[in-house]
């Protein structure tokens, strides 16, 4: 660690400051979250694929959300577990740049899918008779490809630009995973171009998506209020509850995080890190739970699956 060459080829990740003594214990809930995310999202994908009645636009978009959540979990949690379970904080520069690329790419994908789901709810409520003809399989596929191209294309330059920068400071990152602003601030060169590019990406993706989601719900509310029957109004709004929860889970910690960046001196490092964890870790864990609770078809299919599992266990025990 003493040689400049060795130090220059590594960054050092950070756990929760002041809680190093209980890092091993903190790895238990983190492991549980990782398993819950992988299990929940995999089950959503399996249910949608195996149930013909769920072969509809809304559930295809839900499958996209599940894939994105799996990607986000796989990008963030492994490096966190190595810190909390094994105490390994070193990460090679190339591995760090690869991680930040995937974290930011899947984060933008999640935002894009949430926007697409908002548009899906608007079409379903405002034009239910032509819902299937407007959102055809080919259009859904095209939207999925557009989301991938947009998310990957916008983030390819970021690690390339960071790779060219010299790093001559302490190489201590503020989080348990690599993020673009966090790595950029360790450079000992002019980073105005990197900063401007990062701001452009955030505003043109997360910023624009959040505004369009709000506008979509404004149009949805306008359509719902024009429905004469109160029961029909409630039924229409109820189809949006799961999506609203998913949007709040994703955007609320992110807004809090950006506010903390503005008022960094007043915020403790620990609260900053916890809010970051909420932003990246809770949506992949809770989205499958929310959609299972609020979506009758998925709930029934899950119940059938666990009932069959229970029957299978009893039969094997009997034999």
Q: Is 7 a residue whose pLDDT tops 60?
A: no
Q: How confident is the model over 169-189, as a mean pLDDT? A: 86
Q: Is 4 a residue whose pLDDT tops 70?
A: no
234 pLDDT tier (thresholds 50, 70, 90): confident
Q: How confident is the model over 243-253, as a mean pLDDT? A: 92
Closest CA to 68 of 27, 111, 13, 39: 111
Q: What's the Cα-to-Cα distance from 275 to each of 83, 126, 167, 182, 257, rounded to whole Å?
A: 18, 36, 27, 15, 6
The span from the CA of 175 to the CA of 32, in Å, is: 20
Question: Which residue shows structure tokens 């999202």?
Answer: 41
**Could you read off the pLDDT of 11-40 as tens digits, one per residue?**
888 888 777 778 888 888 889 999 999 999
Tokens of 168: 């001559």
Q: Could you tell me which residues come within 8 angstroms of residue 112 by beta carbon, excluding any fewer than 6 positions away?
A: 147, 150, 151, 205, 209
- pLDDT on residue 255: 79
**Could you read off the pLDDT of 284-318 as tens digits, one per residue?**
999 999 998 888 888 888 887 777 655 555 545 55
Q: Is 195 a residue whose pLDDT tops 50?
A: yes
- pLDDT on residue 77: 85
**What are the structural domains of the chain?**
4-318 (1.20.1070.10)
What sections of 203-268 are H helices per DSSP?
208-225, 230-238, 241-262
- pLDDT on residue 3: 36
Say which range, 5-14, 105-114, 261-270, has the weakest mean pLDDT. 261-270
Q: Is 263 a residue whose pLDDT tops 50?
A: yes
Q: Is 258 a residue whose pLDDT tops 80?
A: no
CB atoms < 10 A from the CB of 86, how many?
11
- pLDDT on residue 222: 92
Query: By three-state DSSP, how is residue 90 classified?
Result: strand
In order, the DSSP letters of 154-213 are HHSHHHHHHHTS-B-S--B-SSSS--HHHHHTTBSS--HHHHHHHHHHHIIIIIHHHHHH
**Could you read off the pLDDT of 90-149 as tens digits, one per residue?**
898 999 999 999 999 999 999 999 999 999 999 999 888 888 888 998 999 999 999 999
Asked if 288 contacts 41 with a C-beta cutoff of 8 angstroms, the reply is yes
Q: How confident is the model over 193-208, as a mean pLDDT? A: 91
- pLDDT on residue 187: 87
Q: Could you tell me which residues come within 8 angstroms of residue 227 by beta carbon, excluding any fewer than 6 positions away?
A: 233, 236
């Amino acid at each position: 660690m003493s040689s400049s060459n060795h130090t220059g080829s590594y960054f050092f990740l950070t756990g929760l400051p002041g809680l190093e003594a209980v890092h091993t214990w903190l790895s238990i809930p983190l492991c549980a979250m990782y398993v819950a995310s992988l299990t929940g999202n995999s089950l959503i994908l399996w249910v949608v694929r195996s149930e013909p009645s769920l072969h509809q636009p809304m559930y295809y978009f839900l499958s996209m959300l599940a894939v994105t959540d799996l990607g986000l979990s796989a990008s963030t949690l492994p490096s966190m577990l190595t810190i909390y379970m094994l105490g390994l904080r070193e990460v090679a520069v190339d591995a760090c740049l690869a991680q930040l690329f995937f974290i930011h790419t899947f984060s933008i994908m999640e935002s894009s899918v949430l926007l697409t789901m908002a548009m899906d709810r608007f079409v379903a409520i405002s034009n239910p008779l032509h819902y299937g003809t407007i959102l055809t399989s080919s259009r859904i596929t095209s939207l999925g490809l557009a989301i991938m191209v947009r998310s990957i294309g916008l983030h390819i330059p970021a690690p390339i630009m960071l790779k060219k920068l010299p790093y001559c400071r302490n190489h201590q990152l503020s989080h348990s995973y690599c993020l673009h602003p966090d790595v950029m601030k360790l450079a000992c060169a002019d980073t105005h171009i990197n900063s401007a590019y990062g701001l452009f990406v955030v505003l043109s993706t997360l910023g624009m998506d959040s505004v369009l989601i709000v506008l979509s719900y404004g149009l949805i509310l306008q359509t719902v209020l024009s429905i004469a029957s109160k029961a029909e109004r409630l039924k229409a709004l109820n189809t949006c509850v799961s999506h609203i929860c998913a949007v709040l889970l994703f955007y609320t910690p992110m807004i809090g995080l950006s506010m903390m960046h503005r008022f960094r001196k007043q915020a403790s490092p620990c609260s900053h890190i916890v809010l970051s964890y909420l932003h990246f870790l809770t949506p992949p864990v809770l989205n499958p739970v929310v959609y299972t609770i609020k979506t009758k078809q998925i709930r029934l299919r899950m119940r059938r699956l666990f009932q069959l599992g229970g029957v299978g266990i009893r039969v094997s025990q009997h034999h």
